[in-house]
Amino acid sequence: MPPSLQLLRNDADARRYLRRTLVLTLGIHAMLAASLAGLVSPWLFPVLLPLAYVRLSLSLHELMHVRAASRVSWFHRLAMIFDTPLGLGYREHRAIHLAHHRYAASARDPELYQIRGSHLHAFAWALMAPEHAALDWVRRHGAAPALRRGAFVRAACFVALLAWNPAVFVAYWLTLRACIGCSSFLFHHLLHSRDGALGHFALPAAVLRCMPLARALFGVEPIIIVRDHRVHHAYPGVRALDLPALVDEGAVARAAAPSLVPAVVR
């Protein structure tokens, strides 16, 4: 049975995600600029950046499920947090994520490289996900004019900030890449690989025991999207906050039986 329409993301949700991603992105930019200018200590990065990045990632994820690139602002389309000089924009990230939903943990999943293999193998690729995503996109789809324009802006800003204050920018970049690597490792490998089998799985018990602390640090929505990730894949149109309603209705048993993919794709 399809979920109730009341559980599906709508335009009001999209506006909320647009505002939240704008505020969080500008907050990250302001923190970086203040530190580059010597106004605040770069030691703030390991304290504040993980909190902001996880919330931003969740809001951007929710936005990608409800708004195409043509329906977000130019600022959102840039998707610029200075994580790499070779980055993609909103349009490409959204296409990759929707393809991940369509072909999850199969040979056609564009995220397969950071799903399969050992924990160490997957974590190493998760750390390099921004560059891998960009190079793989260009190899598969080429570089459209809009992508080239956005890539030039992102690369120019990255280089300018690095030149402004190299030591502080490197501290920011290392912290951000650790956030990206850990988040991507959890979101892809831990949720889609288990003992050599690929599919949709619950978080390992050790990670689940950390959920109360993670909820206190990062808020409820990021925790729901990883805790109830199998339900999210079964019903990707349902907003993160309402996934527990489907769990309560027993949707996991019907829709999230382990859909294992043969190990031949490894």
State the pTM of this model. 0.92
Mean pLDDT, consecutive 10-residue segments, the chain of 266 residues? 90 98 98 98 98 97 97 97 96 98 97 97 98 98 97 98 98 98 97 96 94 96 96 96 86 45 38
Write out the residue range of the structural domain in which residue 260 sits.
5-104+111-265
pLDDT at 196: 92
Separation CA 246–CA 131 (nearest Å): 36
Give the total number of structural domains in the chain.
Answer: 1
pLDDT at 250: 60
Beta carbons within 8 Å of 180's beta carbon, 6+ residues apart:
53, 83, 126, 127, 129, 130
pLDDT at 257: 46
Rg (C-alpha) for the chain, rounded Å, is 18
Which residue blocks in 65-144 are alpha helix, DSSP H? 74-78, 90-102, 119-127, 129-141
Q: What is the DSSP string of 21-35?
A: HHHHHHHHHHHHHHH
Separation CA 72–CA 131 (nearest Å): 24
Strands 197-198 and 193-194: antiparallel
pLDDT at 1: 72
Tell me phi and psi for residue 88, to 5 degrees. -100, 170
